[in-house]
């Protein structure tokens, strides 16, 4: 027997008991006659005492233990004279009567504690040491608990978890697929799913009614910050439902897991149309933990001989409360440069400072008198003394994006975000299609299976090009604290409408048939109305814990080159494997 108890469970009530514990040596302290060892496992830390007077040999052994040694200790639970209130086991200690080293350890390359000196790379290489750190361990435990709570909630509602296949078919739509050569079908490839979308719709046609799955998905994309080639979704689909049914169901799920795991009542989620979100926040995933709404001043600023504004499509302002006096001209210059970085791409940044001493200072003071600016202060900006107004101007869509970046940055700088605050939001009524100027084609705003709203169906089937831009979909995103947790839509369940959508998206009849013929075929055999949604599971974990990186909630994440540095993967494979798979390397054009 390796242990009678774990390292987190002994209390005063155990005093006097003989126990056996196993775990890792967190730290040893040698105080002359006494040697103390903090023994750690997933459940906690228990102090072990070796007494020179009682057993010199044993105490000697204990002195030689290194960090991260794995040991088994027998002893008696004793009341601690010097209690540690910070630790659940802090009232007791174990007076050791025997000690066995189960496995030694080399000196770890970084400190295995919450605060570590290990950089990202070395922690990933020694991920097995990194995960021993209690904060990382707690993240993984949280993830497991969230999965359990999610499954319980959905299965209590009658959802069935169905595993959809991982080896499926490549469809050049959307992001890049990872592909898998088929040995048994030479020259052919499977693809790993970017999502189980078509399979969950097939399950609805199959009458499964309420489906869910917590499922791995794959995208071979260049890894931007916080993207992983494999990620996990809570994937759901329902039959005979309207958008309202779906929003209610998954609002219920979200509230339930926040209540269960964070003891937070999120209340009823507000809803906002896509158009309104863009207008008020320049983003389809606005962070509602703070205000600083967009103020569209496009018309108001025209007619003062300031050509930049006069000729601009869109001029927008935000009010940074109380920031006027904090921001020197030098600060403003730095902020302007920050906004001018290629990642953001603003041309300039206009400011109006309503200083505490009632003065007005502005980078456009040449064109707009103090009187005008003071009039705007209350009339347009609802600003107060001490507020800083920041203004961007230009092409509408670009400027909205830039102002969204600035809004988030200013909230961060001004400390407007309260830790532990959670602001959910449903964004609804997304456009069905978006026109891409560059490729001169429509893209599906959500995906090619999303249905237009009931009232837009006829217009979609018969309308002209311009009409297509105005179609709205029963598509929705759940946003929490400015992070997109997930989204979904009511789907097309009619062959003709689906076929029309593929046409609009630039598929030839042959391409549509080749890639999605099975789904359109299924729609001819009694497909029910259906819809669904997927939540990013990694993202939900991170957001619920107020953390920004999903990597912290993935046991074995890959780095930005898609590598697992612990196992050193990907790697070369045998020539024999290539031959069997009927493929050859083709690196000739690469240097």
CB-facing half-sphere around the CA of 60: CA atoms within 13 A: 3
Smallest distance, a copy of itself to C-beta of residue 465, A: 28
* 365 vs 521, beta carbon nearer a copy of itself: 521
Report strand pairing: 475-480 vs 441-444. unpaired
Cβ within 8 Å of residue 441, ≥6 positions away? 435, 505, 506
Positions 155 through 214 that interact with a copy of itself (CB under 8 A): 155, 160-170, 172, 176-192, 198-199, 202-203, 205-209
Q: Is 307 helix (H, G, I), strand (E, B) or coil?
A: helix
Positions 409 through 468 that interact with a copy of itself (CB under 8 A): none
Question: Binding a copy of itself by CB under 8 A: which of 30, 325, 494, 552?
Answer: 494
Smallest distance, a copy of itself to C-beta of residue 237, A: 13
* 43 vs 338, beta carbon nearer a copy of itself: 43
Question: Binding a copy of itself by CB under 8 A: which of 81, 82, 86, 103?
Answer: 103
Alpha-carbon span 464 to 430, nearest angstrom: 19
Smallest distance, a copy of itself to C-beta of residue 94, A: 16
Cβ within 8 Å of residue 336, ≥6 positions away? 346, 348, 349
Residues pairing with 408 in the sheet: none
Question: Binding a copy of itself by CB under 8 A: which of 62, 288, 405, 522?
Answer: 522
Told to check if 388 binds a copy of itself by CB under 8 A, we report no
* 69 vs 281, beta carbon nearer a copy of itself: 69
Smallest distance, a copy of itself to C-beta of residue 150, A: 11
Told to check if 216 binds a copy of itself by CB under 8 A, we report yes
Question: Binding a copy of itself by CB under 8 A: which of 88, 90, 108, 463?
Answer: 108
Alpha-carbon span 133 to 40, nearest angstrom: 11
Stretch that binds a copy of itself, among 1-9, 395-403, 409-417, 498-506 (CB under 8 A): 1-9
Output the CA–CA distances (angstroms, integers) from residue 186 to 106, 127, 189, 327, in the order listed: 48, 38, 8, 66
* 90 vs 528, beta carbon nearer a copy of itself: 528
Told to check if 128 binds a copy of itself by CB under 8 A, we report yes
Nearest to 112 by CA among 70, 175, 62: 70
Smallest distance, a copy of itself to C-beta of residue 240, A: 4
* 24 vs 422, beta carbon nearer a copy of itself: 24
Positions 17 through 56 that interact with a copy of itself (CB under 8 A): 22, 24, 40-43
Positions 341 through 360 that interact with a copy of itself (CB under 8 A): none
Told to check if 493 binds a copy of itself by CB under 8 A, we report yes
Q: What radius of gyration, in Å, describes the C-alpha atoms of the chain? A: 30
* 384 vs 505, beta carbon nearer a copy of itself: 505
Alpha-carbon span 110 to 88, nearest angstrom: 26
Alpha-carbon span 222 to 544, nearest angstrom: 26
Stretch that binds a copy of itself, among 288-296, 332-340, 342-350, 519-527 (CB under 8 A): 519-527
* 267 vs 526, beta carbon nearer a copy of itself: 526
Positions 531 through 560 that interact with a copy of itself (CB under 8 A): 554-556, 558
Q: Total binding residues for a copy of itself by CB under 8 A?
A: 124
Alpha-carbon span 412 to 287, nearest angstrom: 12
Q: Is 485 helix (H, G, I), strand (E, B) or coil?
A: strand
Alpha-carbon span 22 to 16, nearest angstrom: 19
Nearest to 452 by CA among 477, 430, 427: 430
Smallest distance, a copy of itself to C-beta of residue 52, A: 26
Q: Is 435 helix (H, G, I), strand (E, B) or coil?
A: strand
Alpha-carbon span 204 to 240, nearest angstrom: 9
Residues 468-505 as b/e (b if ≥16 CB within 10 A, e otherwise) read: beebbbbbbbbbbbbebbbbbbbbbbbeebbbbbbebb
Q: Is 261 helix (H, G, I), strand (E, B) or coil?
A: helix
Stretch that binds a copy of itself, among 105-113, 292-300, 410-418, 451-459 (CB under 8 A): 105-113
Q: Which residue has the tokens 């809570």?
A: 234
Q: Which residue has the tokens 């030479």?
A: 186
Positions 219 through 248 that interact with a copy of itself (CB under 8 A): 220, 222-223, 229-230, 232, 240-242
Smallest distance, a copy of itself to C-beta of residue 241, A: 7
Write each residue from 129 to 148 as x if it is in contact with a copy of itself (CB under 8 A), else as -, in one continuous string.
xxxx----x--xx-xx--xx
Question: Binding a copy of itself by CB under 8 A: which of 32, 267, 342, 526?
Answer: 526
Alpha-carbon span 45 to 518, nearest angstrom: 57
Smallest distance, a copy of itself to C-beta of residue 558, A: 7
Cβ within 8 Å of residue 213, ≥6 positions away? 161, 162, 163, 164, 196, 200, 233, 234, 235, 236
């Amino acid at each position: 027997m390796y242990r009678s108890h774990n390292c987190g469970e002994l209390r005063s009530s155990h005093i006097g008991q003989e126990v056996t514990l196993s775990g890792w040596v967190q730290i040893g302290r040698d105080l002359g006659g006494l040697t103390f060892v903090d023994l750690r496992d997933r459940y906690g830390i228990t102090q072990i005492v070796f007494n020179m007077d009682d057993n010199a040999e044993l105490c000697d052994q204990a002195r030689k233990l290194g960090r991260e040694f794995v040991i088994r200790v027998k002893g008696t639970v004793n009341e601690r004279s010097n209690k540690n209130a910070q630790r659940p086991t802090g009232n007791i200690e174990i007076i050791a009567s025997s000690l066995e080293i189960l496995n030694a350890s080399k000196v770890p390359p970084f400190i295995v504690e919450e605060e570590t000196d290990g950089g990202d790379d070395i922690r990933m290489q020694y991920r097995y040491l990194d995960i021993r750190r209690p904060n990382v361990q707690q993240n993984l435990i949280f993830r497991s608990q969230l999965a359990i709570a999610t499954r319980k909630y959905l299965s209590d509602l009658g959802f069935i978890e169905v595993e959809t296949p991982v080896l499926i078919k490549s469809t050049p739509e959307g992001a890049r697929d990872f592909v898998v050569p088929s040995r048994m079908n030479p020259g052919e490839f499977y693809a790993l799913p970017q999502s189980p979308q078509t399979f969950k719709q097939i399950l609805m046609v199959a009458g499964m009614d309420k489906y869910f799955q917590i499922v791995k998905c794959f995208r071979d994309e260049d890894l931007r910050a916080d993207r992983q080639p494999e990620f996990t979704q809570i994937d759901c689909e329902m039959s005979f439902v309207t958008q309202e049914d779906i929003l209610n169901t998954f609002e219920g799920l979200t509230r339930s897991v926040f209540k269960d795991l964070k003891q937070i009542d999120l209340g009823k989620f507000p809803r906002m149309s896509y158009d309104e979100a863009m207008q008020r926040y320049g983003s389809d995933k606005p962070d509602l933990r703070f205000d600083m709404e967009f103020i569209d001043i496009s018309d108001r600023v025209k007619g003062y001989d300031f050509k930049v504004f006069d000729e601009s499509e869109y001029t927008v302002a935000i009010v940074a409360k109380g920031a006027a006096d904090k921001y020197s001209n030098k600060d403003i210059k730095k902020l302007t440069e920050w906004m001018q970085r290629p990642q953001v791409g603003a041309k300039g940044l206009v400011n109006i400072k309503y200083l505490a001493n009632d003065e007005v200072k502005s980078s456009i003071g040449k064109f707009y008198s103090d009187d005008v600016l003071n009039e705007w202060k209350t009339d347009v900006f609802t600003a107060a003394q001490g507020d800083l107004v920041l203004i961007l101007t230009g092409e509408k869509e670009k400027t909205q994006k830039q102002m969204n970046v600035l809004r988030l940055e200013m909230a961060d700088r001004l400390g407007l975000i309260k830790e532990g605050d959670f602001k959910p939001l449903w964004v609804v009524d997304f456009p069905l299609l978006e026109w891409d100027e560059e490729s001169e084609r429509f893209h599906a705003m959500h995906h090619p299976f999303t249905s237009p709203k009931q009232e837009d169906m006829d217009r979609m089937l018969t309308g002209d090009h311009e009409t297509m831009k105005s179609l709205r979909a029963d598509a929705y995103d759940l946003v929490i604290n400015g992070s997109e947790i997930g989204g979904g839509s009511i789907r097309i369940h009619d062959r003709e409408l689906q076929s029309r959508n593929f046409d609009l998206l630039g598929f030839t009849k042959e391409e549509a048939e080749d890639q999605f013929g099975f789904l359109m075929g299924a729609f001819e055999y009694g497909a029910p109305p259906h819809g669904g949604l997927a939540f990013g599971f990694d993202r939900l974990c991170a957001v619920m814990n107020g953390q920004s990186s999903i990597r912290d909630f993935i046991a074995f994440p890959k780095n930005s080159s898609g590598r697992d540095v612990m196992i050193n993967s990907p790697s070369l494979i045998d020539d024999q494997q290539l031959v069997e798979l009927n493929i050859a390397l083709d690196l000739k054009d690469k240097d």
